Amino acid sequence: MNKKEDNKKIKEEKNKGGFICCNCGEWVSISDDIGTAHRNHCPYCLSSKHLDKEFSGDRASECGGCMLPIALTFKKEGKDKYGKERKGELMIVSECLNCGKVSINRIAADDEEKAILSLFNNSLKLGEEKVKNLSSQKIDIIKEGDKKDVFIRLFGKGIKKI
């Protein structure tokens, strides 16, 4: 593709909501494929821009800072009949570099597995203080013992032993 066509393509994608990642600088295109139409984070490094204020998609924040992924968590699905917390889908926990706001995001179908796995390792390395702080905001960071559940969500049940 020549440069002119390239620019045209970028313009088209920009109209659909494409953006340049605030962290790694990659162009993030938005396609109409399931799971990416509402993409708000970069599939390569999982960063996003701080645009939402109260809830995902409200676009009410004026911060605009870069939100870096810091850990993984499970979506809370209430308690099972034994009173144990149910683990829902895997979510990305991000923190705004500018204002420190923490938010959780769904993982998209085309997010890089590598990036998610390195985030898994990051989660285990978060300081105790941070984990406590997040827990007080009702965000429970995954632990070493959650590895199996993380892998099942990433690769399905038919995976070989880890």
- Rounded to a whole number of angstroms, the minimum distance from the CB of residue 34 to Zn ion is 21
User: Can residue 18 be called a binding residue for Zn ion (CB under 5 A)?
Assistant: no
Out of 7, 31, 56, 98, the only residue in the binding site for Zn ion (CB under 5 A) is: 98
User: Can residue 116 be called a binding residue for Zn ion (CB under 5 A)?
Assistant: no
Out of 66, 90, 92, 96, the only residue in the binding site for Zn ion (CB under 5 A) is: 96
User: Can residue 24 be called a binding residue for Zn ion (CB under 5 A)?
Assistant: yes
Q: Let me know: does 55 contact 63? Beta carbons within 8 Å.
A: no
Contact pattern from residue 39 through residue 58 relative to Zn ion, giving x for each residue in contact according to CB under 5 A and a dash for the rest = ---x-xx-x--x--------
Q: Which residues would be at the binding site for Zn ion (CB under 5 A)?
A: 21, 23-24, 42, 44-45, 47, 50, 63, 65, 96, 98-99, 101
